A and B are shown apart, each in its own frame.
Chain A
């Protein structure tokens, strides 16, 4: 009689196999439990405003209200204040600011990187005002005529500095800006301004907005 074909022997073999599988199950469950227990989520970056209030999740399809001086509203008030500050800051400079890169730094603060390339390097430095400033050691000052008019909103593609691609809320404004170059005499020019202001990640632009298109005629 072949003992391997007997009923009791096969049952015994099955039981041994079952024990091995059971122990293996128990062992792997326990090791999985250990590694799961040891898991700690990575600390998330929390942005705070100047009052230590968390800015909250960054939804680029909504406004951001972390700038304490800007108005809060859903009808473009916040980006309107951003644009006003941007325009008053960009067009206020002296000869030394122009030469030591202070103006270029301002462009990088307020505008998207692509727009800086386009606006500063191709247009701004070639404007007649810059010739007055350099030749006559002049000063340029802006003055907003009235307020910016809110045209409307849409979503536009946005790419962060780290390469994230998403859609972001974009606002359109029009307005009038008086820019005066003070040299040997005063040289005022009135510009009709059309600007697109887009929501941006705080990692890229700390104000949470950036100018992606600026047209001055």
Chain B
């Protein structure tokens, strides 16, 4: 059976059209994709900014982003930092008054101001007063005394649940335990005390740095950028040797 020229031409035309359309489609697909990538804009997300122009983070004082271990580490470090001082870093009350009045100029902060960001302001005063009444403060300056801290056990949680909701609505955490302080004095044997303590920590808001004028070089006092601070610190001592 022979095919006529007409039928063959019709068949050939079908093939030609399918060839043309397949080539055209790949071109159209490419151009479509190129156009899509050029015109695509990602979805805009709304951000809330804080007073400083940074990304606002909602601070719910009944919650914390820190883990229990981080809060415990803060408790340990803050207590160790607060009890480590010497006759140069904690100046006598007379010298401190001279510094505040501008009679004496220093670059380094006094121990009183160094530990201030770790405490709630009222508790800071109370702690300094309790430190001033400590037995090792007797003849502290003439004997060039230096106090060092040694922890042998980590702070222990007061209750099994850990976190405590305070009356003021803030999240609290209570630890207790003991540590030792070693008192070195010029020309005397060093002696130590066992300190039993109970510390209550509270969730605090993040506050921008104040612009107040200070006598020391400001960066020398590390900021407390952690979410927690010491609310109360109760302690008593036992002389060891």
State whether the Cβ of A44 lies closer than 8 Å to any Cβ in chain B. Answer: no
B55's partner among A8, A30, A52, A92 (CB-CB below 8 A) is A52
| Chain A 1-44 interface 0/1 with B at a Cβ cutoff of 8 Å (1 = within) | 00000001001101110110111011001100100100000000
Q: Which of chain A's residues have a CB closer than 8 A to the CB of B11?
A: 12
Q: Is the Cβ of B30 less than 8 Å from the Cβ of A29?
A: yes
Q: Which of chain A's residues have a CB closer than 8 A to the CB of B160?
A: none
Q: Is the Cβ of B220 less than 8 Å from the Cβ of A53?
A: no
A29's partner among B16, B33, B186, B218 (CB-CB below 8 A) is B33
| Chain A 88-120 interface 0/1 with B at a Cβ cutoff of 8 Å (1 = within) | 110010101000000000000000000000000
| Chain A 133-162 interface 0/1 with B at a Cβ cutoff of 8 Å (1 = within) | 000010101111000000000000000000
In the complex, residue of chain A having the shortest beta-carbon distance to the beta carbon of B89: A139
Chain A interface size range: 35 or more
CA–CA, A89 to B222, complex, Å?
A: 11
Most buried by B among A8, A52, A88: A52
B43 vs chain A, min Cβ distance (A): 14
Q: Of residues 39 to 64 in B, which have CB atoms within 8 Å of A's CB atoms?
A: 50, 52-57
CA–CA, A196 to B63, complex, Å?
A: 45
State whether the Cβ of B153 lies closer than 8 Å to any Cβ in chain A. Answer: no
Q: Is the Cβ of B22 less than 8 Å from the Cβ of A19?
A: yes
Q: Which of chain A's residues have a CB closer than 8 A to the CB of B209?
A: 68-69
Q: Is the Cβ of B217 less than 8 Å from the Cβ of A88?
A: yes
CA–CA, A36 to B9, complex, Å?
A: 42
State whether the Cβ of A205 lies closer than 8 Å to any Cβ in chain B. Answer: no
Q: Is the Cβ of A30 less than 8 Å from the Cβ of B29?
A: yes
A184 vs chain B, min Cβ distance (A): 7
Q: Is the Cβ of A52 less than 8 Å from the Cβ of B57?
A: yes
| Chain B 185-207 interface 0/1 with A at a Cβ cutoff of 8 Å (1 = within) | 01000000000000000000010
State whether the Cβ of B164 lies closer than 8 Å to any Cβ in chain A. Answer: no
Are A25 and B26 also in contact (CB < 8 A) when A19-B19, A48-B55, A68-B209 are?
yes
Q: Is the Cβ of B54 less than 8 Å from the Cβ of A36?
A: no
Given contacts A53-B54, A141-B88, A184-B186, 20 further A-B contacts (CB under 8 A): A15-B19, A16-B15, A18-B23, A19-B15, A19-B18, A22-B21, A23-B22, A25-B23, A29-B26, A29-B30, A29-B33, A50-B206, A51-B54, A53-B52, A69-B218, A70-B219, A85-B217, A88-B220, A96-B148, A143-B107
- 29 A-B residue pairs with CB within 8 Å: A8-B9, A8-B12, A15-B12, A15-B15, A15-B19, A19-B19, A19-B22, A22-B21, A22-B26, A23-B22, A25-B23, A29-B30, A29-B33, A33-B33, A50-B206, A51-B50, A52-B54, A54-B54, A70-B219, A81-B219, A84-B219, A88-B220, A92-B108, A94-B86, A137-B184, A139-B146, A141-B108, A143-B106, A182-B88
Spell out A's residues near B (CB within 8 Å). 8, 11-12, 14-16, 18-19, 21-23, 25-26, 29-30, 33, 36, 48-54, 67-70, 81, 84-85, 88-89, 92, 94, 96, 137, 139, 141-144, 182, 184
